[in-house]
């Protein structure tokens, strides 16, 4: 049997950084998917190949502790570790001793704040689970991916595997977990990648320093961030994309105020606005990484071109209504 | 007798736009001056020459109603009108019937939000007053310039002629007028001009529309603006330029949030920050116009160069402790 599962990327529409201080965030799955194909092997090895991160190799032996890199050299093992953790988890659940080939193909840029690694974990859990005959529920797929994220990242919010699993739009608030938001409206987005790497941890620390030094200024900014999410939910429910765009612009200004924007991000943001985007903001940690522009459907290409002319790599995407799914089984 | 008077430009350090809604603004006189030289003529004509606005010509006849352009063609009369109103006011006070040559030389860019026209009015009032033997107090110079602004602009705040008259640093709040802030600290500034014209009225209207549509979001942003001014006053009194720079950065983000920044302004702001500015923000109405960067004294040139490389025209300036003054009398 050979199974292919896919899971979508995510984009934070509102609330990055402010979410650390208890404000809500609004996260949307977008139609850019990771595809994970898997099939049993005749031996007991686990072969993983992920071209997007330039790594492949074989795990074998007692508790799969032996690793032999095929591509990616000495770093391959580290890069493949999150995928291996998911596979091991599924193998444990299945109580089977079987080898697997696991091939990851991704249309999601890596390390750009688009949830690529969570999407890989979710699609891997679904594909491997199916091949092993586990009949996992969505909730179980989510749990396996989330547990793997915990092993790798410490204390992640869990929002990335949730959005890749369930798709659609989710409201997240620290301590309250995720809540789905049912929507009918199409949300045409252009994502622009500055291509500049940044450290999420450094940027989170920068906001905290500013808040600790100027609490009477920064705290109300954070709370305005929460009000923006509330307004954005109303705008989305009403299908009012113009309002949604205005709110993205305001949110971007607040992120600039707390020090997480940058020259390259502003260049892409203003290029998108000038080309007629309804709104544009940085998305994710900021510093470098990605921005996201909301456009009228007919303007997607024009806005994407403007962002490219300003030096960004783009992907256009609409809301992914579906989360993880089995694409093929034969 | 020939008299030369000068008056400084101003830069809004904090509070533009928010001041419309009752928040305080912090305005600083900067060492860029307008020089107005005047002497009596043997006839009764008033000759005004202002190279900076490309206009010169002669007023003569009953109530000086006849105008003959020398430079600037048909628009010269409109451009010189604010200066003529000040001269007429002084002539009325002196009850003298005398001709004057009035030569304006300015080191302040025109229509860039730096208070050039108020500085011209203030220096003209001081120079002409002295030549006419009026012995005007500072308060009287301010009143003449302010009255002239009212004739030309309708209902100005009065802050521009105030800062040009008194120099130093002023706190302004609508309905409360201006309050001087006594400081010892040097405040080295680089002003970067995008060279793009903008309509102050349009930008003020844009903020109002946003506030009317999203009051629960925009009103707290405006009130944060007020808190920034309070913190900035403390930072200035403590000589803490680093804090002042942080507050400028935050204020810039809030101005971006209410929609009055622009791509060209962001380019100059981030160029300045990257070159080591302690803080940088748009100043004045936004859209185009100017930004201002606060620097450590040794970094003025480096920051100015960075702004120029990013396409801005720069002027470096420190706080002008003195406002209007007589430069020469002979």
> B266 vs A271: CB contact, 8 Å cut-off?
no
Report d(CA B141, CA B3) in Å as an integer.
Answer: 15
- Choosing from B43, B51, B160, B299, which is the catalytic residue? B160
Per-residue pLDDT reduced to its tens digit, A2-28: 999 999 999 999 999 999 999 999 999
Q: Does B263 touch chain A (CB under 8 A)?
A: yes
Report d(CA A243, CA B223) in Å as an integer.
Answer: 22
Task: Tell me which chain A residues have a C-beta less than 8 angstroms from the C-beta of B216.
Answer: 227, 231
Select from A152, A180, A208 the last residue of a domain. Answer: A180
Q: What CATH code is carried by the domain that includes residue A310?
A: 3.30.70.890
Q: What CATH code is carried by the domain that includes residue A90?
A: 3.30.230.10
Provide the residue range defining the domain that includes A113.
3-180
Are A299 and A275 in contact by the 8 Å Cβ rule? The answer is yes
Mean pLDDT, range A264-269, rounded to an integer: 98
Three-state SS for B42-67 is CCCCEEEEEHHHCEEEEEECHHHCEE
| Disruptive mutation site among A209, A214, A273 for chain B (greatest number of B CBs within 10 Å) | A214
Q: What is the ipTM of this complex?
A: 0.90
Q: What's the length of chain A? A: 330
- pLDDT computed for residue B317 by the predictor: 85
Q: Are residues A138 and A79 in the same domain?
A: yes
CA distance A327 to chain B (A): 42
Return the active site residues of A.
160
- pLDDT computed for residue A151 by the predictor: 81
Per-residue pLDDT reduced to its tens digit, A197-237: 888 889 999 999 999 999 999 999 999 999 999 999 999 99
Select from A180, A204, A235 the last residue of a domain. Answer: A180
Q: Are residues B289 and B205 in the same domain?
A: yes
| Disruptive mutation site among B196, B257, B272, B288 for chain A (greatest number of A CBs within 10 Å) | B257
Tell me, yes or no, whether A155 lies in a domain: yes
Closest chain B CA to residue A260? B253
Three-state SS for chain B is CCEEEEEEEEEEEECCCHHHHCCCEEEEEEEEEEEEEEEEECCCCEEEEEHHHCEEEEEECHHHCEEEEEECHHHHHHHHHHHHHHHHHHHHHHCCCCEEEEEEEECCCCCCCCCHHHHHHHHHHHHHHHHCCCCCCHHHHHHHHHHHHHHHHCCCCCHHHHHHHHCCEEEEECCCEEEEECCCCCCCEEEEECCCCCCHHHHHHHHHHHHHHCHHHHHHHHHHHHHHHHHHHHHHHCCCHHHHHHHHHHHHHHHHHCCCCCHHHHHHHHHHHHCCCCEEEEECCCCCCEEEEECCHHHHHHHHHHHHHCCCEEEEECECCCCCEEEEEC
Tell me, yes or no, whether B326 lies in a domain: no
Report d(CA B80, CA B308) in Å as an integer.
Answer: 31
Burial of A216 (0-12, 13-18, 19+ CB in 10 A): exposed
Tell me, yes or no, whether B308 lies in a domain: yes
- pLDDT computed for residue A76 by the predictor: 96
Q: Are residues A141 and A240 in the same domain?
A: no
Report d(CA B292, CA B278) in Å as an integer.
Answer: 11
Number of domain units in chain A? 2
Tell me, yes or no, whether B229 lies in a domain: yes
Q: Which residues pair with residue A38 across a beta bridge?
A: A3, A102
Q: Does B240 touch chain A (CB under 8 A)?
A: no
Q: Are residues A27 and A125 in the same domain?
A: yes
Which of A102-116, A242-256, B289-303 is least confident?
Answer: A102-116
Which of A171-180, A318-327, B152-161, B222-231 is least confident?
Answer: B152-161
- pLDDT computed for residue A157 by the predictor: 78
CA torsion sign for A227, A229, A235, A237 is: negative
Cα distances (angstroms) measured from residue B167 to each of A32, A124, A195 = 58, 68, 47
- Report the mean per-residue pLDDT for chain A: 94
Mean pLDDT, range A136-157, rounded to an integer: 87
Q: Is the model's pLDDT at A155 over the cut of 70?
A: no
In which band, very low, low, confident or very high, does the pLDDT at A112 lie, cut at 50, 70 and 90?
Answer: confident
> A253 vs B249: CB contact, 8 Å cut-off?
no
Q: Are residues B198 and B149 in the same domain?
A: no
Tell me, yes or no, whether A323 lies in a domain: no
Pick the closest to residue A132 from A1, A37, A4, A5 (CA basis): A1
Q: Are residues B54 and B7 in the same domain?
A: yes
Pairing assessment for the beta strands B3-14 and A290-294 based on DSSP bridges: unpaired
- pLDDT computed for residue B179 by the predictor: 92
Report d(CA B279, CA B149) in Å as an integer.
Answer: 32
Q: Are residues A169 and A193 in the same domain?
A: no
Select from B124, B151, B180 the last residue of a domain. Answer: B180
In which band, very low, low, confident or very high, does the pLDDT at A113 lie, cut at 50, 70 and 90?
Answer: confident
Which are the contacts of A210, defined by CB distance < 8 A and separation ≥ 6?
Answer: A218, A258, A259, B246, B250
CA distance B41 to chain A (A): 54
Tell me, yes or no, whether A145 lies in a domain: yes
Task: Tell me which chain A residues have a C-beta less than 8 angstroms from the C-beta of B270.
Answer: 262-263, 266
Tell me, yes or no, whether B246 lies in a domain: yes
How high is the mean pLDDT in each 10-residue block of chain B (330 residues)? 97 95 95 96 96 96 94 94 96 95 93 90 98 96 92 77 95 90 90 91 94 98 98 96 98 98 98 98 94 94 97 92 95
Q: Are residues B136 and B206 in the same domain?
A: no
Q: Are residues A212 and A158 in the same domain?
A: no
Q: Are residues A80 and A163 in the same domain?
A: yes
Tell me, yes or no, whether B328 lies in a domain: no
Packing angle between helix A138-153 and helix A76-94, nearest 10 degrees? 140
- pLDDT computed for residue A77 by the predictor: 95
> B161 is written with which tokens?
């002629």
Mean pLDDT, range A320-325, rounded to an integer: 95
């Amino acid at each position: 049997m050979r199974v292919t599962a896919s899971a979508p990327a995510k984009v934070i529409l509102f609330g990055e950084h402010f979410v650390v201080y208890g404000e809500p965030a609004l996260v949307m799955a977008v139609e850019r998917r990771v595809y994970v194909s898997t099939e049993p092997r005749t031996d007991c090895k686990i072969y993983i190949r992920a071209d997007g991160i330039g790594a492949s190799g074989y795990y074998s032996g007692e508790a799969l502790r032996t690793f032999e890199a095929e591509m990616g050299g000495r770093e391959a093992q580290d890069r493949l570790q999150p995928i291996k953790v998911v596979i091991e988890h599924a193998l444990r659940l299945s109580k089977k001793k079987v080898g697997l080939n696991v091939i990851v193909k991704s249309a999601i840029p890596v390390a750009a704040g688009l949830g690529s690694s969570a999407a890989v974990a979710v699609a891997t859990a679904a594909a491997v689970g199916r091949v092993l005959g586990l009949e996992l529920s969505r909730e179980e797929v989510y749990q396996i991916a989330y547990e793997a994220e915990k092993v790798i990242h410490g204390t992640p919010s869990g929002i990335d595997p949730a959005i890749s699993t369930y798709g659609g739009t989710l409201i997240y608030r620290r301590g309250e977990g995720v809540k789905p938001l049912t929507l009918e409206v199409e949300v045409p987005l252009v994502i622009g990648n500055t291509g500049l790497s940044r450290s999420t941890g450094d940027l989170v620390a920068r906001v905290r320093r500013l808040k600790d030094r100027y609490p009477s200024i920064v705290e109300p900014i954070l709370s305005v961030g929460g009000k923006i999410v509330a307004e954005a939910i109303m705008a989305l429910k009403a299908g009012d994309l113009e309002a949604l765009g205005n709110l993205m612009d305001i949110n971007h200004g607040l992120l600039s105020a707390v020090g997480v924007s940058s020259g390259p991000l502003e260049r892409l943001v203003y290029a998108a606005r000038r080309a007629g985007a309804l709104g544009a903001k940085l998305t994710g940690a900021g510093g470098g990484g990605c921005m996201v522009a909301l456009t009228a459907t007919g303007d997607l290409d024009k806005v994407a071109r403007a962002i490219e002319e300003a030096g960004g790599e783009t992907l256009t995407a609409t809301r992914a209504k579906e989360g993880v799914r089995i694409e093929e089984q034969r």
